[in-house]
Amino acid sequence: MNSPSSSRPHRTLVRGASVVFPDSTRRAEVLFSPAGILDIDASRTTAADSVIEAAGMWLIPGVIDDQVHFREPGLTHKEDLASASHACAAGGVTTFLEMPNTRPPAITIEAVRDKERLASEKSLVNFGFYIGATPNNVGELRASTDLPGIKIFIGSSTGDLLVDEQEALERIFAETSLPICAHCEDESTVRANAARFAGTTDVPDHSRIRDVTAAVIATRRSIDLAVRHRH
């Protein structure tokens, strides 16, 4: 084993693990650094600063979970970014992208930066935060050029972030450049279904209220907006 070079990042070799590839699983040697995977099966043990003997273990790619709902800020008695990121790491998730409907919601750049600062102090894994769309924050959305995307709730969900008026939707799709991630449930369909099942306490009625029809209508609406505005 070599001593780490002061001119390059620390390199680690995982040896003997069953490595999961896109089309197969086989034993392999994987050399990596903080920047990523450097080599596979090159037998470059001498290039490693440290070696992990992993015979009998599995080595899988880190999962990118692009839709998580954590509880900080606002509901940290349930969970915070530290405990949530511990759960990610334990389950093989190496990057999370979090939705904006916390308390308060992340609908300004400043609110997103506050989350990023908290995560830089607490998170064990890589992270990113969506900014939430409202009928009145297109300026914030336009200025948010370095975020994973914009979350838009075409149907109501947790938090007061509903955007279902056509004029507001047209502006958001027309005037922003980030990827848009849409919560697709048609609000009028959901409300009509909710009236039919008013007072119910049966769990299966949730999927009858927020049914396939509601999802299809809102999804088609989103696709139409995206196509027309080349978003």
* Exposure string over 100-130, b if 16+ CB within 10 A, otherwise e: bbbeebbbbbebbeebbebbeebbebebbbb
Higher-pLDDT residue of 18, 6: 18
Q: What are 16's two structure tokens?
A: 């003997």
Higher-pLDDT residue of 181, 33: 181
Task: Determine the Cα–Cα distance for residues 188 and 190; give it in Å rounded to an integer.
Answer: 5
Predicted confidence (pLDDT) per residue in 68-80, tens digit: 999 999 999 999 9
pLDDT band at 6 (very low <50, low <70, confident <90, very high): low
Q: What is the pLDDT of residue 199?
A: 84
The DSSP call for residue 1 is: -
Residue 154 scores a pLDDT above 90? yes
Residue 4 scores a pLDDT above 50? no
Q: What is the pLDDT of residue 3?
A: 45
Q: For CATH 3.20.20.140, list the domain ranges present in the chain.
A: 63-228
pTM for this prediction: 0.83
Q: What is the pLDDT of residue 46?
A: 62
Where does residue 215 rank: exposed (0-12), middle (13-18), buried (19+ CB within 10 A)? Answer: middle
Mean pLDDT of 24-28: 93
Place of tokens 């916390």: 102
Place of tokens 């800020």: 73
Q: What is the pLDDT of residue 163?
A: 97
**Domain 63-228, classified CATH 2.40.50.100, yes or no:** no
Predicted confidence (pLDDT) per residue in 167-226, tens digit: 999 999 999 999 999 999 999 999 999 999 988 889 999 999 999 999 999 999 999 999
Q: What is the pLDDT of residue 34?
A: 85
Q: For CATH 2.30.40.10, list the domain ranges present in the chain.
A: 12-59
Record: fold of 12-59: Urease, subunit C; domain 1 (2.30.40)
